[in-house]
């Protein structure tokens, strides 16, 4: 008979997430991913000034804010048909790139590593599962020295972000029309000085630590693959070619690379606590109506699908589409690709910061339109992020957000197809039912963030009014 494991909340990630798995003969035969609180930012956005979108959506979560600033700005620039100055594209990439490095460093050392290396016998490393940890004492000590050093590196990344973004995590440097901080010889130097230290850490500590992880846990290249359809919207807009990205957009389905078509993105809600009418084939018409008593539902995350397919998204998908990493799709591939991407982005940032032109424009003036629609598709740290805005009479009529973690952590869809993390868990072996460390290893390799994925209600208002 199947035994059930429930982990709630899953720790070492942002937000509150619950995983339920059924285990039979030591193997996971079924898995359920539940976002266990409400976001509801779409409700908060209604009737606001469209220019607020860039700032308010950053508050969806505290760890990928600059990605929301990018997507919100792109959506408005699309709606207003704006072209922003070259300097602005670069500055925005410098802000987002610094934030991405901060995220990738944090994921590798704080979120993922403690699943594989046994930390010191003190909080936050205890309590922990009793399991097979494969590093020897010397290796473990070295890994946790680097873990501590990565905190300094994370701080440096946030300092880089603030040089052009004003503050972290929610920056004021990215806005519709461009950027807000002019490049100067001085701020370029301040950015580079920090970047060089972070780059050195990635090259000399993070990548070697990743290689050591591969040496000891190579079996995780065969574990936790998840869906084989990979999605990326394109990361880091090019300053020299409008509409193009340094890391190309694309969907890999059945080994075929296709361009991303936003019309093929839709959301299903059969197993999510939303009214059935919130299912959307056209995301611009999407709605957010909470229904916590819904039968058969188990998550505040909707089920986004691409042409009906379950997809996974994130650094592995980006490098796969860029043909820079085609080793495999698995737990360790996702973690490895994230580390390789950190190196790639650090190299890019060094190149881009030197392309800034002090004295040249950073902002394109515009007149807001009375009525308009726009879509901002961009990559966040964890994968494809989309913002859809409809403006009516100078105010937001509808705002919809589909985050990478909604793609990855989604529940079953209308056809009963499990979401990406759910699929990756089904079939894995659990060595010790009381210490199911394998679940965390596989699930955390997606760098999940349930704050982004679920729908927060306005604390002044009662939730009751949203419930039918
Ligand atoms: Ni809360 Fe986020 C990223 C977005 S969710 S972290 O990256 O958008 O996946």
Tokens representing 174 are 């990215």
**Is 23 a domain residue?**
yes
Q: Is residue 456 part of a domain?
A: no
Closest to 468 in 3D by CA, of 309, 317, 278: 278
Q: Which atom of ligand 1 is nearest to the CA of 385?
A: 8
Give tens-digit pLDDT for 371-404.
Answer: 999 999 999 999 999 999 999 999 999 999 999 9
Residues 6+ apart with CB under 8 A from 358: 182, 183, 184, 185, 188
**Closest ligand 1 atom to the C-alpha of 453?**
5
Q: How far apart are CA 434 and CA 437, in angstroms?
A: 9
Given the DSSP bridges, would you call strands 174-175 and 265-268 parallel, antiparallel or unpaired?
A: unpaired
**Rounded distance from Cα 64 to ligand 1 centre (Å):** 5
Q: By three-state DSSP, how is residue 261 classified?
A: coil
Helix, strand counts (H, E) of the chain = 13, 16
Q: Show the ligand 1 pocket: residues with CB < 6 angstroms.
A: 14, 61, 63-64, 67, 380-382, 385, 403-405, 449, 451-453
Closest ligand 1 atom to the C-alpha of 403?
8
CA of 14 from ligand 1 middle (Å) equals 9
At a CB cut-off of 8 Å and minimum separation 6, what does 62 contact? Answer: 14, 169, 170, 451
Q: Model confidence at 454, in pLDDT bands (50, 70, 90)?
A: low
* Ligand 1 atom, smallest distance to 401 CA: 8
Q: Range of 59's domain?
A: 3-450
| Rounded distance from Cα 410 to ligand 1 centre (Å) | 13
Residue 24 lies inside a defined structural domain of this protein: yes
Answer yes or no: is pLDDT of 461 > 60: no
Dump pLDDT digits (tens) for 290-318.
999 999 999 999 999 999 999 999 999 99
Residue 42 banded pLDDT, cuts 50, 70, 90: confident
Return the ligand 1 atom nearest residue 62 CA: 1
Distance 404 CA to ligand 1 centre (A): 6
Structural domain contains residue 34: yes
Name the percent of the chain lying above pLDDT 90: 89
Tell how strand 230-232 and strand 312-313 pair up.
parallel
- Confidence class of residue 453 from pLDDT cuts 50, 70 and 90? low
Is the confidence at residue 67, as pLDDT, over 80? yes
List b or e across 407-442, with b for residues whose CB sees 16 or more CB atoms inside 10 angstroms.
Answer: bbbbbbbeeebbbbbbbbbbebebeeeeebbbbbbb
Residue 232 belongs to what H/E stretch?
Answer: strand 230-232
Q: Report which protein residue has its CA nearest ligand 1's atom 1.
A: 452
Q: What gap in Å lies between CA 12 and CA 452, rounded to an integer?
A: 15
Question: Which residue reads 């494969």 in tokens?
Answer: 134
Is there a domain that residue 462 lies in? no
Please give the DSSP secondary-structure letter assigned to residue 47.
T
CB 236 within 8 A of CB 246: yes
Quote the ligand 1 centre to 70 CA distance (angstroms): 12
Whether residue 16 is predicted with pLDDT greater than 90 in this model: the reply is no
Please choose, from the candidates 270, 268, 277, the residue with its C-alpha nearest in 3D space to the C-alpha of residue 306: 268
What is the C-alpha separation between 17 and 253, in angstroms, rounded? 28
Residue 38 lies inside a defined structural domain of this protein: yes
Length of the chain: 468
Q: What is the pTM of this model?
A: 0.94
In a domain, 463, yes or no: no
Would you state the pLDDT for residue 464? Answer: 46
Query: How many Å lie between the centroid of ligand 1 and the Cα of residue 450?
Result: 8
Is the pLDDT reported for residue 462 higher than 90?
Answer: no
For the chain, the domain total comes to 1
pLDDT tens per residue, range 106-133: 999 999 999 999 999 999 999 999 999 9
- The CA distance from 162 to 173, in Å, is 8
Give the pair of three-digit tokens for residue 154: 């994370």
Determine the Cα angle at 371 with ends 369 and 375, to 5°.
90
The answer to whether 224 touches 445, Cβ cutoff 8 Å, is: yes
Write the residue with the smallest CA distance to atom 4 of ligand 1.
403
The CATH number that applies at residue 181 is 1.10.645.10
Residue nearest to atom 6 of ligand 1 (CA): 64
Q: Is residue 61 part of a domain?
A: yes
Other C-beta atoms lying within 10 Å of the C-beta of residue 343:
17
pLDDT at residue 53 above 50?
yes
Q: Which pLDDT does position 39 carry in this prediction? A: 74
């Amino acid at each position: 008979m199947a035994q059930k494991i429930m982990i709630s909340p899953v720790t070492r990630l942002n937000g509150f997430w619950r995983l339920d798995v059924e285990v039979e003969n030591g193997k996971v035969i079924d898995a359920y991913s539940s976002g266990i609180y409400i976001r509801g930012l779409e409700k908060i956005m209604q009737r606001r000034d469209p220019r607020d979108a860039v700032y308010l959506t950053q508050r969806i979560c505290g760890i990928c804010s600059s990605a929301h600033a990018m997507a919100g700005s792109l959506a408005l620039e699309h709606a207003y048909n704006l072209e922003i100055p070259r300097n602005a594209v670069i500055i925005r990439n410098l802000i987002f790139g610094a934030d991405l490095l901060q995220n990738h460093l944090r994921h590798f050392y704080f979120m993922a590593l403690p699943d594989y290396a046994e930390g010191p016998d003190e909080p936050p490393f205890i309590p922990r599962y009793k399991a097979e940890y494969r590093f020897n004492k010397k290796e473990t000590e070295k890994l946790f020295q680097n873990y501590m050093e990565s905190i300094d590196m994370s701080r440096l990344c946030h300092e880089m972000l603030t040089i052009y973004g004003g503050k972290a995590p929610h920056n004021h440097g990215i806005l519709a029309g461009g950027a807000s901080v002019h490049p100067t010889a001085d701020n370029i130097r301040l950015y580079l000085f920090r970047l060089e230290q972070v780059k050195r850490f990635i090259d000399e500590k993070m990548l070697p630590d990743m290689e050591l992880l591969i040496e000891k846990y190579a079996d995780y290249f065969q574990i936790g693959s998840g869906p084989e359809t990979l999605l990326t919207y394109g990361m880091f807009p090019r300053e020299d070619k409008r509409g193009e990205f340094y890391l190309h957009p694309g969907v890999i389905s059945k080994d075929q690379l296709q361009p991303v078509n936003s019309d093929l993105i839709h959301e299903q809600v059969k197993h999510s606590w939303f009214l059935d009418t919130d299912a959307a084939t056209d995301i611009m018409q999407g709605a957010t109506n909470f229904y916590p008593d819904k039968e058969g539902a188990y998550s505040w995350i909707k089920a986004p699908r691409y042409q009906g397919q379950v997809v996974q998204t994130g650094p592995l998908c980006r490098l796969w589409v860029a043909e820079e990493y085609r080793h495999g799709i698995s737990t360790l591939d996702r973690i490895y690709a994230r580390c390789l991407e950190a190196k790639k982005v650090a190299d890019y940032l060094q190149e881009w910061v030197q392309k800034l032109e002090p004295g040249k424009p950073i902002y394109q003036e515009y007149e807001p339109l009375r009525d308009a629609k726009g879509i901002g598709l961009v990559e966040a740290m964890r994968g494809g992020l989309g913002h859809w805005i409809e403006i009516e009479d100078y105010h937001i009529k509808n705002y919809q957000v589909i985050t990478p973690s909604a793609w990855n952590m989604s529940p079953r869809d209308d056809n009963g197809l499990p979401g990406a993390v759910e699929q990756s868990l089904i079939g894995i072996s659990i060595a010790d039912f009381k210490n199911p460390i394998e679940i965390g290893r596989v699930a955390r390799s997606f760098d999940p963030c349930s704050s982004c994925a679920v729908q927060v209600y306005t604390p002044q208002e009662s939730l009751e009014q949203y419930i039918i």
